[in-house]
A and B are shown apart, each in its own frame.
Chain A
Amino acid sequence: MSGTLKVTTLQDGASSTANLTFDANGNTTAGGTLAMSSSFLRNRIINGNMTIDQRNAGASVTPTDGQYLVDRWVASLTAASKYTAQQGTLTPSSTNGYNSNSLNITSSSAYSISSSDIFAISQKVEGFNFYDMGWGTASAKTVTLSFWVYSSLTGTFGGCFVNSAQTRAYPFTYTISSANTWTSISVTVPGDTSGTWVGATNGIGVRVFWSLGVGSTYSTTANAWAAGTYFAPTGATSVVGTSGATFYITGVQLEVGTKATPFEQRLYGTELVLCQRYYFALSAAIYGAINTYPSSAQQLASDLWWPVTMRTAPTVAATGTQAINSIGLTTQNKTSVLQTVNNGGIAGISTATASAEL
């Protein structure tokens, strides 16, 4: 049967109340528990709408390889100064109103990529947030990746799903038909039943790349799992190949199943805390961990606690109101900052960052 079935309720024969009730405004009410094969809080990508930018606060950067652009989004590059990156601001109507920010890439030159070049952005999803996909087993689940993209270029673009060891790859393609127009993309990927995936650990559960220009050595056939180190499908558009070319992305969602659902809008505080599991930047100087005005120079320690348990013990960099001698034992929860406080000085931490990125 096809067409439209017009009813106001659906009810099991043994039930005393309607299972589903429909109204004239398009609303649906479930009479009992609504069980789905996927859950709410289904997006495995963090900062998919590029709202959190602790490192750069919206400033443009010319990244080095491995540099973070906005929180959780990292640059890959094999030659310096071929593109810049910056958090962008969107108007509500740009992408169905779901996203306030974007990650904006701009090509700095017309660079001809060599066979071994890699230019890309990616996100590494922690194993604890992806193990239930069962990749590497016979029960591997299909996932769907969706995002909004905007480019001055048109054509076939590419990306790739990669495991932690970079020995398994699923390159995918997508098409941008209209230049300078936000376009909604959805890519469905069958789960990998082979290879080694880290499972429920704090390692890299899966890494998703978006190619900005990848050479032939690291490109292979699209839409199939491959054994080897690949980051893009063969023939994908090179953004770094055109001077001034733009590539903007937002609304990135990775979820179980074959259908892309509307972008999951998380509260700002929730998204910030999710990011701070991997990176934390002290927003302002703090004092009072030690209230002392020593009559002579003393070495003092003050504890700096992270706002959330980090993925692993982080790398710490800090400056203080007094010279910082060293950072003491660092854990997933805190570190100790050792300062020599001079006569009449006040111990304080001026700046601090903690990185536990994958």
Chain B
Amino acid sequence: MYTNAQYIAFNGVNTSIRVDINGVTSFVPLDPANTDYANIMQLVAEGKLTIAPAEGAQQ
């Protein structure tokens, strides 16, 4: 169960996604081989999850 997803950025570049996985705050790298990242991207594609932009990022 993935909830509360938000990109984390350093120097303006997204490096990971902060997301609660079954209630545990976790940080998922932007790596297609990472199973959580693949699951998150599938949920996003299905319209079931939205990833908020990184803090300070332009909307």
Interface residues of A (CB under 8 A from B): 64, 202-203, 311-317, 326-331, 335, 355-358
In the assembled complex, how far is the CB of residue A144 from the closest CB belonging to chain B, in whole angstroms?
Answer: 29
Assess the B35–A330 pair: CB atoms within 8 A. Answer: no
Assess the B36–A315 pair: CB atoms within 8 A. Answer: yes
Given contacts A316-B27, A317-B24, A317-B25, contact A326 B33 (CB under 8 A): no
Name the one of A202, A330, A356, A358 contacting B27, with C-beta atoms under 8 angstroms: A330
Chain B residues with CB under 8 A of A331:
29
Interface centre among B18, B26, B28, B29 (most CB of A within 10 A): B29
Count of chain B residues with a beta carbon within 8 Å of a chain A beta carbon: 19
- Please name 14 pairs of A and B residues whose Cβ atoms are closer than 8 Å in the assembled complex, sorted by A: A203-B33, A312-B33, A313-B29, A313-B33, A313-B34, A314-B29, A317-B21, A327-B16, A327-B18, A328-B16, A329-B10, A330-B29, A331-B29, A357-B35
Closest chain B residue to A329, Cβ basis: B15
Chain A residues with CB under 8 A of B28:
315
Name the one of A311, A317, A358 contacting B26, with C-beta atoms under 8 angstroms: A317
Closest chain A residue to B22, Cβ basis: A64
A317-B27, A326-B18, A327-B27 are known; give 5 further A-B pairs, CB within 8 A: A313-B33, A317-B24, A329-B29, A355-B35, A356-B34
In the assembled complex, how far is the CB of residue B10 from the closest CB belonging to chain A, in whole angstroms?
Answer: 6
Chain B residues with CB under 8 A of A315:
21, 26-29, 34-37
Assess the A326–B36 pair: CB atoms within 8 A. Answer: no
B8 within 8 A of A: yes
Chain A residues with CB under 8 A of B25:
317
- How far is it, in angstroms, between the C-alpha of A257 and the C-alpha of B17 when the chains are bound? 44
Interface centre among B22, B33, B36 (most CB of A within 10 A): B33
Assess the A327–B8 pair: CB atoms within 8 A. Answer: yes
Closest chain B residue to A67, Cβ basis: B22
- How far is it, in angstroms, between the C-alpha of A68 and the C-alpha of B16 when the chains are bound? 23
Chain A residues with CB under 8 A of B16:
326-330
Chain B residues with CB under 8 A of A314:
29, 34
In the assembled complex, how far is the CB of residue A127 from the closest CB belonging to chain B, in whole angstroms?
Answer: 11
- How far is it, in angstroms, between the C-alpha of A326 and the C-alpha of B9 when the chains are bound? 10
Chain A residues with CB under 8 A of B34:
312-315, 356
Closest chain B residue to A124, Cβ basis: B35
Name the one of B24, B33, B36 contacting A202, with C-beta atoms under 8 angstroms: B33
Chain A residues with CB under 8 A of B36:
315, 355
Assess the B35–A358 pair: CB atoms within 8 A. Answer: yes
Chain A residues with CB under 8 A of B8:
326-327
Closest chain A residue to B31, Cβ basis: A313
Chain A residues with CB under 8 A of B31:
312-313
| Among all A-B residue pairs, the 8 with the closest Cβ atoms | A327-B27, A312-B33, A313-B29, A313-B31, A317-B26, A330-B29, A315-B36, A316-B27
- How far is it, in angstroms, between the C-alpha of A100 and the C-alpha of B35 when the chains are bound? 31
- How far is it, in angstroms, between the C-alpha of A331 and the C-alpha of B25 when the chains are bound? 18
Chain B residues with CB under 8 A of A64:
22
- How far is it, in angstroms, between the C-alpha of A109 and the C-alpha of B6 when the chains are bound? 39
